[in-house]
Amino acid sequence: MAYLPDGFESGDSGAHDRVAALITLESLPKRSPADSTVMSAVRYLLYRHEMETGTTDLPQNIAVVSDASGTGVTTVSQALSEVLASERSSTVLWIDATETHAPLPSGTTTLRTSPWGATDAPGARHWAGQPPAIGAAPYSTFARGRLSMSNLGAVSSQPALDDLFKDLSTEFRHIVLDTPPILSKGNSIGFLRHADAYILVARHGSTAIKQIEAASNDLRTIPSMGAILNDYRTRSPKFVRRFFSE
Amino acid sequence: MSTASGRGTASLNTTPTSDFTERLVDGFFRRWFLYLIPVVLLAGLGIDTARTITGEYESYARLSATTNPYLEQPDIRGTEIGFYETPADGTARLINEQLQTDAFIDEVATQSGLAEAIDDGLITRGDIRGRLGASASGQNNLRVNATWSDPTTALVLVESATNGYGEYLTLLAVADSQEAVRFWTDRRQVASNEADIAQDALDSFVQRLPTLASGEERATEQTLEIQRLSSAFDRALDTVREAQSAIDEAQFTANQAASSSARQLVVIDAPIMANDPAPVRRDQATVVAMFILLGLAIAFAAVLLTTLLDRAIRTRSQLALASGIDVVVVVPRVSKLRRKRRAQPVDLNEAA
């Protein structure tokens, strides 16, 4: 059974119905508290953005993107959601638009009614009228169900997605998009049209320069809030590192 | 976490050079054990090679290249000392130049008893050249030294080289005088033949003349002919005497030049036979050091190559340059968290 927002009845028509059908909180495992270093990095990017824009008004829809998988986009986007929710007292929705990381319980809807699986996981809560929390996370989560990546392009082109974001924007101060790799899954480019800004994540020693150049070229129309070089590790001794800037 | 910020690429606090150096250093420390393999291998090879080095016996002679300023020095072609070098430097250079010629080496080998070994292919001229040489030892003194596996050969090599160079100097010094002797000897022979012919002609003419009666005088024509023949004979004799004088003078000059050339190289310390082989530790250390340096060069080339071929993002400035994003944050790897995540698998029901 799909959860519906409080105040909505099953069978309502229009955008709210679609939202009700789509916004079904999935029981996402909170694998671990967000890394303090990642949260510090995100915090710094937010401060820098505020300093450069001269206002505390952060972009509403922030996409965390990378060129390929495994760079730490989910970690960064979760940390961003946590910082925004706990330190900025914002209502935050974290949308996992990447591949499903864990097996989902049964009860998913079809693509015709919802691009994301509407699940009825034990302990899951919907965002409307309830403390938007799953486990220890202080923010709401919204994850894609059993939608194959090949259909993501179809989802991103659904008019319902536009209505969905419109409705979500009225309910949440910030929407954090955990997007698929933009190079390997080009469908996410369409998904990113709903982003107001993006944070680029690259993995040290893994992400190629060409990939970053290509990804940046694809993202050139979206304002950037900064980049994170994740999983940085150097074997140079400390006395050697002193000679360099990092 | 560390950060970089600014506007555009120029605002980053790293230059392309320092960025590349950083990647180079990081690349080395990331796989230092691989890069040390050629160093260790070549060091082992160097040690093995150094162990094969055996001590050789060394003999040397110390020579003086000074000349007596009160004596006139012969101008020997090809042995001029440059204005930029000391007498010792110049003489050592000349000896080493001679050692590069096969004729001189063959002469030295013959005098040293090594000619047969060369003919049999047991040693080469290069072996002798590599073990025999001259070097300046101060401004006026030079040292001719030789090393060989046996002390006798080392001693003989030094003696042969020293004597051979002295003979070479003498040969050069007397070359012009000997040429003059040969020239005047030929002239003397020609003049002597002419004198004989003139004397024969005079004798023959006189014998053919009739005997004069008492009080009778020779005809004027006969008298003139006798005078002409006598004059030709006298000129030929003068030429012979002149040639002989020139020969004597040239021989004197040759002897004088030979004597002067011998004074140009005075042996101060005659070579002596070495009792013990020369210590080899220095040579062994040099060989090992060279092998280690070669290994280091190979390791550095490998680090350089892998760094150049590495197209992954390794520094903050690389990411900033590639993405065109000014604000770059570095998040270091936290090994403790990674281990913790691996150790604690997710339980969906528990998490829910």
Inter-chain residue contact B29 with A28, CB threshold 8 Å: no
Alpha helices in chain A (DSSP H): 15-22, 36-53, 73-87, 152-156, 159-171, 188-191, 209-218, 238-241
Whole-angstrom distance, CA of residue B18 vs CA of residue A142:
44
Lowest mean pLDDT among A69-73, A106-110, A176-180, B292-296: A106-110
Q: Residue window 49-68, chain A: list those with CB within 8 Å of chain B.
A: 49
Q: Is pLDDT at A189 greater than 50 in this prediction?
A: yes
Residues 6+ apart with CB under 8 A from A55: none
Question: Which residues in chain B touch residue A38, judged by CB atoms under 8 angstroms apart?
Answer: 331
Percentage helix, strand, coil, to 5, in chain A?
Answer: 35, 15, 50
Stretch A177-184: mean pLDDT, rounded? Answer: 78
Cα radius of gyration rounded to whole Å, chain A:
18
Q: Could A202 and B319 be called an inter-chain contact, meaning their C-beta atoms sit closer than 8 Å?
A: yes
In this predicted structure, what is the pLDDT of residue B220?
86
pLDDT at B102: 92
B3 vs A122: CB contact, 8 Å cut-off?
no
Residue pair B50/B288 in contact by the 8 Å Cβ criterion: yes
Query: Rounded to an integer, what distance in angstroms lies between the CA atom of residue B90 and that of residue B75?
Result: 15
Instruction: Give the model's pLDDT for residue A226.
Output: 93
> Whose structure tokens read 């097996």?
A103
B70: its two tokens: 């009160």
Mean pLDDT of A41-68: 89
pLDDT at position A106 over 70: no
pLDDT given for residue B219 in this prediction: 83
**Closest of A192, A120, A122 to residue A155, by C-alpha:** A192
Q: Calculate how close chain B gets to A182, using CA atoms only, in Å.
A: 14
Averaged pLDDT for residues A214-222: 87
CB contact under 8 A, B22 and A226: no
Angle between helices B220-264 and B151-208 (to 10 degrees): 170
- For strands B57-64 and B141-148, give the pairing: antiparallel
Per-residue pLDDT tens digits of chain B, which is 352 residues long? 554 443 333 334 456 667 788 888 888 988 889 999 999 999 999 999 999 888 889 999 998 887 655 555 556 666 677 788 888 898 899 899 999 999 999 999 998 888 998 999 888 999 999 999 999 988 889 999 999 988 999 999 999 999 888 888 888 878 778 888 899 999 899 989 999 998 999 899 888 888 877 777 888 888 898 899 999 999 989 999 999 998 998 888 888 877 777 666 788 899 988 888 888 888 899 999 999 999 999 999 999 999 999 889 888 888 998 998 888 888 888 665 555 555 444 443 333 3
Q: Rounded CA gap, A169 and A160, in Å?
A: 14
Question: Rounded to an integer, what distance in angstroms lies between the CA atom of residue A173 and that of residue A62?
Answer: 11
Nearest CA to CA, how far is B15 from chain A (Å)? 10
CB pairs < 8 Å spanning A and B: 157
Residue A158 has a pLDDT of 63
Both tokens of residue A123? 């302990």
DSSP string, B70-137: TSPPP--TT-PPPTTS-HHHHHHHHHHHHHTSHHHHHHHHHHHT-HHHHHTTSS-HHHHHHHEEEEE-
Q: Which among B331, B337, B349 is the nearest to A41, CB-wise?
A: B331
Q: At what angle do helices B102-112 and B151-208 cross, to 10 degrees?
A: 110
Of A48, A102, A231, the CB nearest to B333: A231
Looking at residue A25, its pLDDT comes to 36
The secondary element (H helix, E strand) that includes residue A35 is: none
Quote the tokens at residue B275.
């009792």
Binary contact (B331, A228; C-beta < 8 A): yes
Q: Quick one: closest CA in B to A124, which residue?
A: B352
Please list, residue by residue across A37-73, b when 16 or more beta carbons sit within 10 angstroms of its beta carbon and e when fewer do: bbbbbbbbbbebbeeeeeeeebbbbbbbbbbbbebbb
Q: What is the DSSP letter of A228?
A: E
Judge whether B346 and A100 are in contact, CB under 8 Å: no
Tell me if A31 and B346 make a contact (CB, 8 A cut-off): yes
Q: Look at A28-37, A191-200, B228-237, B296-305 and tell me which has the smallest mean pLDDT.
A: A28-37
Are the C-beta atoms of residues B27 and B310 closer than 8 Å to each other? yes
Which residues are bridge partners to A122 per DSSP? none
Q: A243 near B14, Cβ under 8 Å?
A: no
* Helix, strand, or coil (residue B8): coil
Neighbours of B332 (CB within 10 A): 18
Residue among A30, A229, A231 whose CB faces B328 most closely: A229
Question: Using the beta-carbon criterion (under 8 Å), do B351 and A29 form an inter-chain contact?
Answer: yes
